[in-house]
Structure formats: C-alpha cells, structure tokens
Amino acid sequence: MVHNLLLYMIGLSRIKKQIFQIFCDVIFFLTSFLLALVIQNEPIIDFMSANVWFILTLAVIVNLSTFSILGLYRTVIRYISTESIKYVGIGILNSAVCIFIFSQILEIKISINIILVFCLLLFLLSFGTRTFLKQIYTNSLQKNKKSIAIYGAGNAGLQILNAISGGSDYSTKIFIDDNENLIGRRISGINIYSMSQAEKIFSKNYIDVLLIAIPNLSQEVKKRILNQVQKYPMQIKVIPSFKDLIEGTIEVNDLKTLSIIDLLGRDIVKPDLKLMSKNINNNVVLVTGAGGSIGSEICRQSLKYAPKKLILLDISEAAIFSIHQEIIQLLKNQRTQIEVIPLICSVQNKQKIRKILEKFDVETIFHSAAYKHVPLVESNVVEAVKNNIFGTKTLGEMAIKAKVKNFILISSDKAVRPTNFMGATKRFSEVICQNLATQKITNFSMVRFGNVIGSSGSVIPHFNNQIDKGGPVTVTHNDITRFFMTIPEAAQLVIQASSMSSGNDIFILDMGKPVKIIDLAFKMIHLRGLKPFLENSYEEISGDIGIKISGLRPGEKLYEELLISENSIETNHPKIFKEKLSSLDAPELDKLIVILSEACKINDINKIKEVFSHPKIMMDHSGEIIDQMI
C-alpha cells in the first residue's frame, strides 16, 4: 500500500507534490505539539485557547517559510540527502524560537521541556518520514535491478561501485579479489570474497552480472575466470579502456559485455612496424575482395602505413561502396590525404585487370577475393573454380606482365589435405602461385590461416542469431574443432608475412589451440546470462537455450590442419612460420588447367574431382580425399 502511494505521489505534478509536502508538514507540526503535551503529562485542554492557536499558527508559518526558502520543497524526496538534515533543523529551530518568544509575550506557560520534546518529535516526523519514503522507493527499485559482483577490489572496482551507486540498473552485492590481504574486508559496506567463496553465492543464483574491474587483463586470465563461472547463468562485463580508468571517467554505460571474441582472441604480439610498412609505405597497394572481412581489414591496416594509393577492388557494388565510405571517413578522422580508388571488377576479367595494374603502377597486391563458404561452394563448384582458381591465375599472370613487385595470396587452412571443393580450389591456387613465382618477376607468397572471428561465414554470428531467437543452437558434430583468430590480428600477420617473403613462400599463421565448437556454443550462451542444455541427451536436463547436434555438412571436416610441424621453418615473427611444399612443373600444370577449363564449360564435376586428385595438388592423399569429396 505504501509502495502504491509512493508511486502515486511520484506521478503527481511538481506543484501538487509541494502542496502535499506542506500539508504533511502542518499535520506533523500539530501532531508533534500534541504528543509533546501528552509526554510531559500536560492537559491538552489547558492549551486549547485562541492565544495558543495564534502562536502555533505563527510558528507553522515560520517553519514552512524556512523550509521553502532553504529549498526543502524543491528537493525530490527520492533523492533526499543528509544535507536536508540542516534544512529541517533550521526550520524547526526557528519555529521553536517563535513559540518561546510569543508564549512569553502573551504570558502563556509553555515550558522549555515541552518545546524540546516538540522539536525532537517534529524532526523525527519531518525528516524521518522523508527518509523512510526514500528508502521504500530505493528498495522497490532494487527488486528490478540486476545484482552485480565486481571482480577486482582495486581502484577500478571502487570507480565502478561509485558509478553504480549513482542510480543505475545495477546493485553491487559483493566484491571478489585474489589478494588474500583484501579477502574478508569491506569496501563501502560491501564484503570482499575469494572466488571459491563467491561461487557459493553464484550457486544460489543471487548474482546476475559478474563485472571484471581489472584493467588490461590478459586473455588467458579472462578465460580462466570464465571457466570458473561458466556453470552459473550470469553475464560477464568488463571495464572500458585503461585511459578512461586513469582519467576517472568510467560510467555505467561504458561497461562492455565480455564477448566470445574476447575469449577466443589471443594476446596479440605487437606488430613489427618495419614489416607492416615495407610493402605498403609509399607503394600503390591493390586489395582484391576489398569489401570482405579480411580484405576490408587489410585496407584499414594499410592506411596506417601511408600507401601512395590504395585501390579497392571487388565484384560487389554494395561491398565496395561500404568499404569506400568507411575508408573516406577514417581518412577524415586521421586528417590524412591518401588517394583511394574504388573499382568494381571481377578478377577473371583479364583485359580490365591488366589495364588497372598498368594504369596505376600497382606495386603490391593482396589477393583476398574468393568464394569461401564451404557448403555454398559445394553447391556451386564451377563458379568457385572459375573465381578462386582462374581468377587467381589471371590476376597473377597480369601482375607479372605489369611487373608488380609483390603478390600475396590469402589462402586457408582448408587447403591442407582438402575434403571439400573450397579447400581444393585454394590449394590449386597455391600451386598456380608457386608456378608463377618461378619466373622471378613478381614476388609471390601465400598465407594460410583458419577461421576469423566475426567474418560473414563465421560460426559466431550464426550462433548469436540463434541465441537471439531463443535457440536451438546447432552444432554439426559433438567433436568438431576449429582454429580461430580475430580479423585485425589475421590482417596484421598477413601484411607482416608478405614482407618476409623471398619468393615462392607459403606462410602458416600460428592459430593457437583448436577450439571445440560445442564448448564454444556453451560459453556463448553462458555469456548471455542463460543456461544451456544439450538436446536429445540421455539425461533430462532443462535450461534456457538448447544445443542441437545437426550432423556434418557436405565437405565439412571434423578437424582443420595448418601443418605447423617440426618441419616448419621459423621466421623473425613468433606467430609466423614457413612451409616448403612440392609444386608442379609448368607443362604439367598447364595440362591440368586445360582439363579443368573444359570440365567447367560442360559442368563436369567428376572431371574436376579428377584434376584435384593429382598427388601434387592433394599432397599425396588423393585417394582418401576424393572419396570424401561430394
């Protein structure tokens, strides 16, 4: 009832709220005076004279006027502070003085004891009622707030606590810290626990959000924390940048939800500026597939190293428009002037490609354009062969004719012992580049890496969409694993690898440890504060989002390989290795290309399979692989 009355009061206009407060203060004043008489055993009837009412009326006017002048009626009750004690005290003191003076003038016996008791009672009613209403309002809000545990009882944790206390959607319940000297202590009335102690609280579902308030925390520590709490359905958030922490500008709205990208990404090795700039600085750089995930990031990274010109090439009008607009805005923000040329063109267009390379005197090509989605390529084999293989061949040959200095092919981990057409086209493209490199006019190099987080075909946005819709999250196989790398890291390593090439090199990027996709699905659901469960399992498990095993797709591998082995050659970069692979002689390769071309013309998929089964293409695993290709 009190809560409903409070909500009704909050909904009143400003004037009505002030009138209501004045009315209540009059009632408090008269009630306090009458109660003071009762407490002092004074007969109330003896004070029911006209002179007493005259004194009380004057005192009420003095009291209300003081409250009004000091701004008590302008103070919002739900935000009332201890400063209001002073205002209430001054008002009551003034009214008490008024009662004492006029009682003396009119010779009415109102004792000092009655006035003192009256002052105490009036203070309790005036300030106490306001504080009581504020507490009821605060408690009612707490019911709708998310309970938060702050991991890190240091300076950042205190800043976050202060920000949250300012009236946000969160209510801090506990601190967590690994420092034994802090465990068991309190900060602003909030207990500090160890992680093991906190888990007992987590198990009772008292905490909705775990906030990691430690700046520059490594990826490994973030993973460890997630592993400790992943069985509890709670969101995990992190503080913003270290710069904001130093400046003391952290606000609640700045808190960032810890994403699976933060956990899959590694602690990135700082790029070597010399390697990053070698093939870009003061060079005319052309990026094919410039609107794609990797191509667009190579464009962004290239801007930092001042190319003479940056040519964006893509077959998609929408993709090229989007990246061109973004690059223009980046240049404005950086106050940099670099000529950026957007071109719509297929890499299979021999005449136009040659004209572009010669017209702009292109010096470095990053060849990212390719059809990469495995199931889609399985359904469109001929188009994938034309684009991925013949497009690479055309671009490479025209690069030699235009005497381009550097040609970097963006390859894939799926090119290793491929079980699908996408991987086979990438491996064939590598062989083409290896062959073209023997002419020693253009420096050809190839870079292999696995899945990039957040790309158009990545499993992560797919899982996010499924979680948004309430599930189920579909995983193709219980044991399927993949390598993952962030797009910026992949682009940086590609650029650095290209600078280390002496010609005809295949570079392998260190992707770290493979990630089990079903574990990835579980963690992504947990990060949303939801409870996952495995559908069709033998155990009766309930939860918020189901995970369903859907079966391997055509051409899909259980495990991807990058072949960083004992035979891999180390480079000057700890995350980049070289592989030496056998290649085909030009006559033998030309024969395969002719067969491949004829097969594409008549849409002969079996003939295309035969070409891909060549030992030098499939790296001596042809029989096993072709049996698996569909």
- Which residues are the active-site residues? 414
- Percent helix, strand and coil across the chain, each to the nearest 5: 50, 15, 35
What is d(CA 582, CA 562) in angstroms, rounded to the nearest whole number? 16
Token duo for residue 58: 């004057």
Alpha carbon 180 to its chain's center: 31
What is d(CA 418, CA 420) in angstroms, rounded to the nearest whole number? 6
Distance in Å from the first CA to the final CA of the chain: 70
Strands (E), 122-244: 146-151, 170-176, 186-187, 190-193, 209-212, 235-238
What is d(CA 65, CA 96) in angstroms, rounded to the nearest whole number? 14
What is d(CA 140, CA 148) in angstroms, rounded to the nearest whole number? 17
- The order of strands in the sheet holding 576-579 is 339-344, 309-314, 284-288, 364-367, 406-410, 443-448, 505-509, 576-579, 569-570
**H helices within 360-483, ranges in order?**
374-379, 381-384, 391-401, 421-437, 459-468
Closest-CA residue to 211 (of 543, 529, 545, 532): 529
Residue with tokens 């188009």: 383
239: number of Cβ within 10 Å: 25
What is d(CA 298, CA 280) in angstroms, rounded to the nearest whole number? 11
- The order of strands in the sheet holding 170-176 is 186-187, 190-193, 170-176, 146-151, 209-212, 235-238, 256-257
29: number of Cβ within 10 Å: 23
478: number of Cβ within 10 Å: 12
Give the Å distances, CA to CA, from 568 to 65, 437, 580, 598.
87, 20, 8, 37
Residue 230 phi/psi, 5-degree rounding, is -65, -20
Closest-CA residue to 367 (of 352, 348, 341): 348
What is d(CA 176, CA 151) in angstroms, rounded to the nearest whole number? 5
In order, the DSSP letters of 114-125 are HHHHHHHHHHHH
Q: Is 598 exposed, middle or buried (0-12, 13-18, 19+ CB in 10 A)?
A: exposed
What is d(CA 348, CA 390) in angstroms, rounded to the nearest whole number? 7
**Is 177 strand, coil or helix?**
coil
